[in-house]
């Protein structure tokens, strides 16, 4: 997504200085949509409510849950044996 695409999405843009001066106003504005915070005229951060963030991030999943294969009980797994040999240490 290009930077200019945020102009269409965000109804509110504020400079870093405005944000630092009135954080409460930025938080209020974020209730209605993303707030783009600019640094020297360039968008650098976006403030959204946590509910909006969770909606955008999608459901959370633990890595271990993603790897678990509950329905795969009959998988044949017979990896080939690898011969390893230790050589002298090169210090």
Q: What is the pTM of this model?
A: 0.57
Given a contact cutoff of 8 angstroms between Cβ atoms, the answer to whether 6 and 43 are in contact is: yes
CATH of the domain at 28: 3.40.1620.10
**For position 67, what pLDDT does the model report?**
79
Phi, psi of 19 (to 5 degrees): -60, -50
**For position 9, what pLDDT does the model report?**
54
Higher pLDDT, 3 or 18: 18
Cβ partners under 8 Å of residue 25, min gap 6: none
Query: Into how many domains does the chain fold?
Result: 1
Q: Is the residue at 48 inside a domain? A: yes
Domain interval for residue 57 = 5-61
Any idea of the CA torsion for 10, 46, 55, 68, to the nearest 10 degrees? 150
**For position 70, what pLDDT does the model report?**
74
- Which residues partner with 77 through β-bridges? none
Q: Is the residue at 82 inside a domain? A: no
The average confidence (pLDDT) of the chain is: 84
Angle, CA 44 vertex, CA 39 and CA 45 arms, to 5°:
120
Q: What is the pLDDT of residues 19-63, one digit of tens each?
A: 999 999 999 999 999 999 999 999 999 999 999 999 988 888 888
In this structure, the chain runs to a length of 91
Q: Is the residue at 10 inside a domain? A: yes
In this predicted structure, the answer to whether residue 3 has a pLDDT above a threshold of 50 is no
């Amino acid at each position: 997504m290009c930077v200019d695409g945020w102009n269409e999405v965000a109804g509110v843009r504020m400079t870093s200085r405005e944000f630092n001066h009135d954080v409460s106003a930025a938080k209020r504005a974020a209730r209605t949509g993303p707030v783009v915070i600019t640094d020297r005229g360039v968008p650098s951060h976006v403030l959204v409510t946590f509910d909006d963030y969770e909606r955008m991030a999608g459901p959370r999943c633990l890595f271990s849950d993603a790897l678990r294969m509950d329905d795969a009980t009959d998988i044949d797994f017979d990896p080939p044996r690898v011969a390893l040999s230790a050589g002298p240490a090169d210090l």
